[in-house]
Amino acid sequence: MATRKLLLISNSTLHGGGYLEHCSEQIKTFLGQVKRVLFIPYALHDRDGYADVARKAYNAMGYELDSIHTQPSAIEAVKKAEAVFIGGGNTFRLLKTLYTEGVLEEIKRRVEQDGVPYIGSSAGSNVATCSINTTNDMPIVYPPSFSAINLVPFNINAHYIEPAPGSTHMGETREDRIKQYHEYPNTPPVLGLREGCILLVEGDKATLKGKNGAKLFVRDVEPKEIELGADLSFLLSG
């Protein structure tokens, strides 16, 4: 089996910068000699507009970008891809379309068997995990399953945030909602990726990168702060 290569980004845009600007250096290091990237814009309704935004960002980094929605066959596009990038938006719409287009298993095969680099941002990071149960998004459509590509045996909560100091908001915090998820048995760990946070997976090694730390939630265990540079390889053992 080829070495899996994943770059799972919490958010595409960080305050004060442009699209993917905050993680462009990590993307370039990650992609290496790749020349063309296959973009999957299924998380947003305006796929043409989304592809234009992504293309400009990747062109600026020195890569060509093809959007899967313009290709004659989505499955064939994945079969030929040098690298895959799935952007953010609505996770339910994204996963439903991955199922509808029949590319879920082919993406998994290309990443795990052929070593094709996978980049996910926000919703694109959510679908790389075992399920989308811990997304922040509204279920505007209903995918046939919440099971996702399952490239890693845990879940992600992108854009993870703590309550603002002094806030009078009385609704559930993000931590509350993740703990509610863990009230059910056999639920996997959840890695809360703060804005600017990136998880790099290379084979059986996982490292926290980016500009902010993360928070790890494990059922029946107190949540734990994860610092930049931390080795999270233990999460890959399931």
Backbone angles phi, psi at 194, to 5 degrees: -70, 165
- In angstroms, the CA 8 to CA 85 distance is 10
Which CATH number is 23's domain given?
3.40.50.880
- In angstroms, the CA 119 to CA 96 distance is 19
Q: Which domain holds residue 113?
A: 5-237
163 within 8 A of 177, measured Cβ to Cβ: no
- Choosing from 10, 67, 121, 122, which is the catalytic residue? 122
Tell me, what's the pLDDT at 170?
A: 63
- In angstroms, the CA 208 to CA 214 distance is 8
Tell me, what's the pLDDT at 232?
A: 98
Nearest CA-CA partner of 9 in 235, 161, 214: 214
β-strand partners of 67: 39
Encode burial over 49-70: b for 16+ CB neighbours within 10 A, e otherwise.
Answer: ebbebbbebbeebebebbbbbe
- Other C-beta atoms lying within 10 Å of the C-beta of residue 225: 10
* Digitized pLDDT (tens) for each residue of the chain, 238 residues in all: 578 999 999 999 887 789 999 999 999 999 999 999 999 999 999 999 999 999 999 999 999 999 999 999 999 999 999 999 999 999 999 999 999 999 999 999 999 999 999 999 999 999 999 999 999 999 999 999 999 999 999 999 999 998 777 777 767 899 999 999 999 999 999 999 999 999 999 999 999 999 999 999 999 999 999 999 999 999 999 7
- Choosing from 10, 121, 137, 182, which is the catalytic residue? 137
Backbone angles phi, psi at 38, to 5 degrees: -90, 120
114 given a catalytic annotation: no
- Choosing from 24, 52, 159, 233, which is the catalytic residue? 159
Tell me, what's the pLDDT at 167?
A: 73
Tell me, what's the pLDDT at 1?
A: 53
- In angstroms, the CA 91 to CA 126 distance is 7
Tokens 């559930």 found at: 172
Tell me, what's the pLDDT at 114?
A: 97
116 within 8 A of 32, measured Cβ to Cβ: no
Tell me, what's the pLDDT at 13?
A: 85
What's the predicted TM-score (pTM) here?
Answer: 0.96
**Structural domain count, the chain:** 1
24 given a catalytic annotation: no
159 given a catalytic annotation: yes
